[in-house]
């Protein structure tokens, strides 16, 4: 049974204060505008900062039948289709960021950062049935001290299992090698790096062995996945990036090219960089159109492959931290329209 939606009107916009740490007077450089092509229903938790992060599973055989997994921090995990319709709901309060990856046997492993224990970073695991759109719990892995927050995954080259990178609030970056035996998932964790203050946004680029981490009030770090060596590649400048830096996403092209996108939450925009050198490209916003505008975005996701007639050259997902008068939700935009708007705005 699907979890019922609660469309209570928001009496205040207090949830915005929970998301942003930058006064509204701070605005970055001008941003071009696009509009959303679809949206999900409001998450079940009303009047709170609840929706957070999406992840995309692409159906290679039928891209239009791809699925989206999204978190409700107070409720659990939703699964949506590309029209935004809810397919299923898995109750699991305390989850924050989410990522997914295909594993042996064509299965899809979904992992979310679990904040139900604020003293210990944990990974909540589930398996996605791509035929029905339902999730089945697959256990938890304790990672280390801290409050679970950001997460992203990658398959290690030439090795079994997957690697999950955790970015808890304290700035410690954990690397967990997850393997499966006899139907159970286990993990071995090491500390990869440390950044000075609170982190969240996380995306791994296996082509270059680079982990990108958003330090919310400082900028974006590039961290070597093997050695942990790090360098600041996009500092907050109140032009391209306005704190908080939140979700990160990548559109890969070729051996090391493409784009990295960051949620510049402080002024409700998205900063776009050209890889591999993190060359600034520009900024965009999702404005009101058929669907409402998007503000105060936490998590984002991006896939630049074909997703059928609605998203033929890629899909960009964003959590809408306002969505008044309803509860927060997720909105979908076309990646080719974003690139066209950026090019026209230069």
Q: What is the mean pLDDT of each run of 10 residues along the chain (346 residues)?
A: 34 38 67 98 91 97 98 96 98 96 94 94 98 97 96 87 95 96 95 96 97 97 97 97 96 98 96 98 98 97 98 98 95 98 91
198: domain CATH number? 2.120.10.30
| CB burial of residue 159 (10 Å; 0-12, 13-18, 19+) | exposed
Going by C-alpha positions, the residue among 121, 107, 125 that lies closest to residue 175 is 121
Contact between 153 and 108 (Cβ < 8 Å): no
pLDDT at 11: 31
Assess contact for 261 and 249: CB atoms under 8 A: yes
Q: Is residue 202 a contact partner of residue 167, using CB atoms and an 8 Å limit?
A: yes
pLDDT at 202: 97
* pLDDT score recorded for residue 25: 55
6 within a domain of the structure (yes/no): no
**How many structural domains compose the chain?**
1
Q: Does the residue 14 lie in any domain?
A: no
Closest CA to 122 of 73, 70, 78, 176: 176
Give me the pLDDT at residue 26, please.
77
pLDDT confidence of residue 313: 98
Residues 241, 298: Cα–Cα separation, whole Å: 14
pLDDT at position 21, please?
42
Give domain status of residue 174, yes or no.
yes
Q: Which residue segment(s) compose the domain that 216 sits in? A: 27-345
Q: Look at the block and give the residue holding tokens 């999406």.
A: 54
Q: Is residue 16 part of a domain?
A: no
pTM: 0.92
Say if CB 336 and CB 307 are below 8 A apart: no
Cis bond upstream, residue 276 (ω within 30): yes
Q: In which region does residue 75 sit, left (phi positive, over 0), alpha (psi from -120 to 50) or beta (all else)?
A: alpha
Q: Are 15 and 295 in contact (CB under 8 A)?
A: no
13: tokens are 């916009």
pLDDT for residue 165:
98
Q: What angle do CA 101, 162, 252 make, to 5 degrees?
A: 55
Whole-number pLDDT of residue 6: 34
Residue 100, preceding peptide bond in cis (omega within 30° of 0): no
Cα–Cα nearest to 295, from 287, 307, 303: 287
How do beta strands 162-167 and 172-181 pair?
Answer: antiparallel
């Amino acid at each position: 049974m699907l979890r019922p939606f609660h469309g209570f009107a928001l009496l205040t916009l207090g949830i915005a204060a929970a998301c942003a740490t930058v006064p509204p007077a701070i605005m970055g450089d001008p941003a071009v505008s696009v509009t959303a092509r679809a949206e999900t229903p409001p998450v079940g938790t009303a009047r709170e900062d609840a929706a957070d992060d999406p992840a995309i599973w692409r159906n290679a055989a039928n891209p239009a039948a791809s699925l989206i997994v999204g978190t409700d921090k107070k409720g659990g995990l939703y699964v949506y289709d590309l029209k935004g319709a809810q397919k299923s709901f898995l109750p699991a309060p305390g989850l924050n960021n989410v990522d997914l990856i295909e594993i042996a046997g064509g299965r899809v492993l979904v992992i979310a950062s679990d904040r139900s224990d604020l003293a210990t970073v944990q990974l909540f695991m589930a398996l996605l049935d791509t035929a029905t759109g339902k999730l089945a719990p697959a256990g938890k892995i304790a990672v280390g001290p801290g409050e679970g927050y950001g997460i992203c995954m990658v398959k290690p080259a030439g090795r079994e299992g997957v690697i999950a990178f955790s970015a808890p609030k304290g700035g410690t970056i954990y690397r967990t090698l997850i393997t499966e035996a006899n139907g159970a998932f286990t993990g071995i964790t090491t500390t990869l790096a440390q950044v000075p203050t609170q982190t969240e946004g996380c995306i791994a680029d296996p082509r270059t062995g680079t982990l990108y981490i958003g330090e919310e009030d400082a900028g974006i770090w590039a961290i070597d996945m093997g050695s942990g060596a790090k360098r600041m590649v996009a500092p907050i400048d109140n032009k391209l990036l306005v704190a908080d830096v939140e979700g990160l996403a990548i559109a890969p092209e070729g051996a090391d090219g493409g784009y990295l996108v960051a949620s510049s939450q402080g002024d409700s925009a998205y900063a776009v960089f050209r890889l591999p050198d993190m060359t600034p490209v520009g900024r965009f916003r999702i404005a009101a159109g058929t669907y409402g505008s998007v503000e105060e975005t936490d998590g984002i996701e991006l896939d630049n492959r074909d997703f059928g007639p609605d998203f033929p050259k890629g899909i960009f997902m964003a959590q809408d931290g306002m969505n008044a008068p309803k509860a927060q939700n997720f909105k979908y935009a076309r990646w080719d329209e974003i690139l066209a708007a950026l090019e026209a705005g230069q």
